[in-house]
Amino acid sequence: MEYKALGNTGLLVSQLCLGTMTMGSGSGVYSHIGDVGQADANNLIKVALEAGINFFDTADVYSSGESEKTLGHALKDLGILRKDIVLATKFYSRIGPGRNDVGASRKHIMDAIESSLKNLQTDYIDLYQIHANDVLTPTDEILRTLDDLVTQGKVRYIGCSNWQAWKLAQSLGISGLKNTVRFESLQAYYSLAGRDLEREIVPLLENEKLGLLVWSPLAGGLLSGKFSRENQKPEGSRRTTFDFPIVDKERAWNILDVIFPIAEKYDCSAARVALAWLLSKPVVTSVIVGAKRAEQLQDNIAATELKLTDEEIKQLDAISELPAEYPGWMLATQGADRLGEVDLWSNRS
């Protein structure tokens, strides 16, 4: 297991992070994702720790708080020293019927942190993340509140999830101007079947030294190996009943057509190849993997040992390449002339 610094900090996190969305009762929408009980959760966390994973991610909304509770109990049951793990959770989503039981207002954040600390049976959260973009709360209010939590010692670092590039850039500007704690990471969807964040978000992360935590690295199981052009709705698969995240299916089948021969060459799962591709990307800090069974988690962990050749990465890059989009194609065209004289229009009709 390799480790990387989280954003522009000295905090080292494992290249794989165990996501705990599958843990708990699986209530509501999470019934499609998993209902891993305490004993099985303890075993999954034990497998992760033995492999060198020190990073664990959850959220207050997963199974109505039961994911946090299950993770907290597991760490106690296994006798894990708090200092030996990096614990991340998230706030924003609705956790009650009240008008302020959702969002990122100062009131909700202050209520949410106390609930998460109680559920996780801990005094502090290593990485506290806003789970979504709040269209009502000013960014300054969010940052001021999170800065107070860091000052109080309840939170060590802060991050966000599913934010637009412009808003993340705005937040960094506010943090610098008002001397508040800044976001150190973005948790975002990224996979061979979904590379949209490469357009605007990846350049921002690289320029500002922010960490990237990847959720749904297998596109909701689409790249696991269970799915194919010939078997588009395998029985018992989560994505068969819960078609998320949004994916261009025809493009995905083409990608799988390239993944399968590589997996056959290494005698491994398609999932392992898809994860190894992500781990080869310098912008990726940690890939969040979730599992219901120990064998599934062990297969994901094995991706850290699979080193794809440059040619294999080129093949996967090419088949999953994003379609040209403005202003990207214009920037590339005009930028070509910057390092040497180029006839920009010679091959254009």
Q: Which of 166, 155, 164, 92 is nearest to 128 (CA)?
A: 155
Q: What does residue 337 show for φ and ψ, rounded to 5 degrees? A: -85, -10
DSSP for residue 327:
T
Omega before 217 cis (within 30°)? Answer: no
Helix (H) or strand (E) holding 16: strand 16-19
The CA-based angle 277-201-156, given to 5 degrees, is 90
CB-CB contact of 343 with 334 (8 Å): no
Helix (H) or strand (E) holding 309: none
User: In the chain, which residue ranges form alpha helices assigned H by DSSP?
Assistant: 38-50, 66-77, 106-120, 139-152, 165-178, 201-208, 238-241, 249-266, 270-279, 294-301, 310-319, 328-335
Q: Which of 239, 262, 234, 251 is nearest to 194 (CA)?
A: 251
CB-CB contact of 108 with 102 (8 Å): yes
Largest CA distance in the chain: 68
What the block records as the tokens of 105 is 């207002």
Dist CA 85 CA 75 (whole Å): 9
CB-CB contact of 95 with 64 (8 Å): yes
Dist CA 83 CA 256 (whole Å): 41
Active site residue 62: yes
- If 0-12 CB within 10 Å is exposed, 13-18 middle and 19+ buried, where does residue 223 land? buried
Say which of 3, 30, 62, 124 is annotated catalytic.
62
Q: Which of 195, 209, 296, 170 is nearest to 245 (CA)?
A: 195
- Active site residues per annotation: 62
